[in-house]
């Protein structure tokens, strides 16, 4: 699991006085991007970052996101911490798990999951993850997201 602090801004609040739910999606995006830019360990495909492994030939699209809000997040001086890990690696896609919490992890504000699909930048069609990409992603594997309510994939309750 990797942890990234995200500084809250006054403008992230909504009229209810807490951080707006839409901002949570941006926090997930920021953590995903920062994870992709981290330097890879030697022997993990090639030097550089995970983004370097994808090159210019591919893009990564969000296919699905699920968030379970657990507690209001209030604006303050301290950042919210976004934990990110991989929960599944497929042939052309992967799933990230997220936890938004305070620095100690004592207050958890949300759990989330995002399915990402790698596509050919020119044609927009899914393309397989390379062996080097899969090796890195396997190293980032963690437990399934501990949603309180099982994910229904659009089937409702």
Confidence of residue 157 (pLDDT cuts 50, 70, 90): very low
Domain span holding position 52: 2-139
Q: How far apart are CA 136 and CA 55, in angstroms?
A: 15
In terms of average pLDDT, the best of 6-15, 51-60, 72-81, 106-115 is 106-115
Question: Rounded mean pLDDT of 70-96?
Answer: 95
- Averaged pLDDT for residues 77-91: 96
Does position 156 have pLDDT exceeding 60, yes or no? Answer: no
Q: Is residue 147 in some structural domain? A: no
**pLDDT over 70 (residue 58):** yes
Q: How confident is the model at residue 56 (pLDDT cuts 50, 70, 90)?
A: confident
79 pLDDT higher than 70: yes
Whether residue 43 is predicted with pLDDT greater than 70 in this model: the reply is no
The overall pTM is greater than 0.85: yes
Residue 115 and residue 64 in contact, taking contact as beta carbons nearer than 8 Å = yes
Instruction: Indicate whether 38 belongs to any domain.
Output: yes
CATH assignment at residue 78: 3.10.129.10
- Kindly state whether residue 145 falls inside one of the protein's structural domains: no
17 in a structural domain: yes
- Is pLDDT larger for residue 34 or for residue 52? 34
Within 13-94, residue ranges assigned H as helices are 21-37, 50-54
Q: Is residue 81 part of a domain?
A: yes
Beta-carbon contacts of residue 84 (< 8 Å; ≥ 6 apart): 1, 2, 3, 4, 28, 31, 32, 35, 96, 97, 98
Q: Are 114 and 95 in contact (CB under 8 A)?
A: yes
Instruction: Report CA-CA distances (Å) from 27 to 9, 19, 66, 79, 109.
Output: 12, 11, 13, 11, 12
Give tens-digit pLDDT for 100-115: 999 999 999 999 999 9
Number of folded domains that form the chain: 1
Instruction: Please tell me the predicted confidence (pLDDT) of residue 17.
Output: 87
């Amino acid at each position: 699991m990797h942890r990234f602090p995200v500084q809250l801004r006054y403008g992230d609040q909504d009229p209810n006085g807490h951080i707006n739910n839409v901002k949570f999606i941006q926090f997930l995006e920021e953590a995903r991007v920062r994870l992709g830019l981290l330097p890879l360990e030697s022997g993990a495909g090639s030097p550089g970052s995970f983004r370097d492994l994808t090159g210019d030939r591919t893009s990564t699209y969000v296919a699905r996101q699920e968030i379970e809000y657990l507690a209001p997040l209030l604006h303050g001086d301290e950042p919210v911490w976004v934990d990110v890990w991989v929960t599944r690696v497929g042939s052309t896609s992967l799933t990230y798990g997220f936890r938004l919490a305070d620095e100690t992890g004592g207050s958890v504000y949300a759990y989330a999951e995002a399915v990402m699909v790698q596509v050919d930048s020119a044609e927009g069609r899914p393309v397989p993850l390379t062996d080097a990409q899969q090796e890195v992603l396997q190293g980032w594997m963690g437990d399934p997201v501990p949603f309180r309510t099982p994910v229904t994939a659009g089937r409702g309750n």
